[in-house]
Amino acid sequence: MNWDDLRIFLAVAREGSISGGARALGVQHSTVSRRIRALEQKQGVRLIDRKKSGYELTAAGEILKLAASRMEHEVLQADGDLGGWDAKLTGELRISAINNMASGILMPMFASFSQKHPAVDLHLLVSNKYLSLVEREADVVIRLTNTPADTLIGNRLLTVASTIYGSRSYLKQLRKEGGKPKWLGVNCCGFHQTWTRNACGGYRHNFFVDDTLLTVAALKQHMGVAYLPCFMGDIEPELERYCSPDPQLNLGLWLLFHPDLKRTARVLAFRDHIADEIKVQKELFAGRRSIPEAAI
């Protein structure tokens, strides 16, 4: 079997459609459709059932998906092993980071790495989920967690503190009038959902956001209070802390990659670069500062 044909089939099987597979691979829909038909004709068996509800793998398709996944794993492992012995810093490097960091505090670090190693093609991906490193959705992930996946290796870069923030004018009015604060409904991640639920109990939210950048924007519009990591809240002049950070809410910032890439030069260079650069921002991430807070 041709590995390129199997790679295309695997993308369609994972995405659930020809168009999804084409987008994942960055090729034309017609190309993927043609290659799938040719693969079916070559093997003499139908791999995908095209139904009104979408695409479903046949029994033969499920078998081929498992086989192709194993082949992909072997190819990626060989690529990682061989790449690790190559001292040249070249090739593609796919980095997945959460949006609030990738577009802000980490972007200068990404840019300086790219300038330092121009032969490395850096691809930045925004996601709060663990993309599959085995399936090469990403080479490196940067995540906030206290329980990193056992299947990955990497470094705990530093501690990230969080607390409750509101706009300065909103908190000033709250202090003056008293009463309980209005809470934003936050669905950006499991951490913020749990913290918010524990802090305000059965409070009925009427304004919801699913991203910390949206949380910042809503707080600036005096919509109430919400949890934010200190590296975001403390740099916003319009926002103020509602209370001091609780150490029980601390999270580790991890840089993780698959063990198959542990000798890959571009991965190790990126790891070392980020570890060195991020130390400069350690105090900001940890929420240590001397400016007054809005203690209520």
**What CATH number belongs to 162-249?**
3.40.190.10
> Per mean pLDDT, which range of 47-51, 58-62, 63-67, 290-294 is the poorest?
290-294
Q: Mean per-residue pLDDT for 150-154? A: 82
* % the chain with pLDDT above 90: 41
Q: What is the pLDDT of residues 195-236, one digit of tens each?
A: 888 888 777 888 888 888 899 999 999 999 999 999 999 999
Are domains 3-84 and 162-249 of this chain identical in fold?
no
Least confident of 25-34, 123-132, 196-205, 208-217: 123-132
- Residue 174: name the closest of 6, 20, 2, 295 by CA: 295
Taking only the tens place, the pLDDT of each residue in 94-116 is 999 988 888 889 999 999 999 99
The answer, yes or no, to whether residue 296 has pLDDT greater than 50, is no
Q: From the options 2.40.100.20, 1.10.10.10, 3.20.20.70, 3.40.50.300, give the CATH code of 3-84.
A: 1.10.10.10
When the pLDDT of each residue in the chain is averaged and rounded to a whole number, the result is 85
Q: Which fold has domain 86-160+250-286?
A: D-Maltodextrin-Binding Protein; domain 2 (3.40.190)
Q: What is the pLDDT of residues 156-195, one digit of tens each?
A: 999 999 999 999 999 999 999 888 899 998 877 778 888 8
